Amino acid sequence: MRLNIEKILNLRKILSDPKKFFSFLILIFILIFIESFIAQTKSFDAKVIKVIDGDTIEVLNLKGDKNKIRLFGIDAPELKQKFGIEAKNYLRSIIQDKKVKIIYKDKDIYDRILAIVEFDNLDINQIMVSKGFAWSYSFYSDIYTKDQKFAQKNHLGLWEDKNPIEPYKWRKQNKF
């Protein structure tokens, strides 16, 4: 017997029949649940072997593989940008040579793992933003927006500057 995908996925029929519609919704929810479960299982422990800049690190996982990790939801100043070196040094001071937990979120176009990095049950991404060493990257997620507002209000880190430039705007103006 040959399956006709067009008949199976005929949205007009699905939407007009409550039983089919309900079944379709359950299927979607199951797929979403499975995806979130798979993402959680991609989390792993690793040792930080290099801090590249204020939002990118290199780790060695338990299998001995190296991975580049881009901290999810934040954007730190570039190294040549004002406060870039300070951001890198601060990140280095808290996680260099430490065992961390990498909570996988996605991969970016440069094949880096986008992740939340935890050390001693602390969200390092959040710390970078709340201390003023990185921006909340609200284009991709608003998870750290409150932390950025805290840093701005208290003039912490890059917020000491009256007119800090967002890293993505700086990158546009200073193409490498």
Cα 41 from Cα 104, distance rounded (Å): 8
Cα 50 from Cα 112, distance rounded (Å): 14
H/E segment holding residue 19 = helix 18-41
Residue type present at position 107: K
Q: Are 86 and 110 in contact (CB under 8 A)?
A: no
Q: What number of other Cβ atoms are within 10 A of residue 54's Cβ?
A: 31
H helices, E strands: number in the chain: 7, 8
Q: Please report where in the chains the tokens 């930080």 appear, as a residue.
A: 48
Active site residues: 70, 78, 112
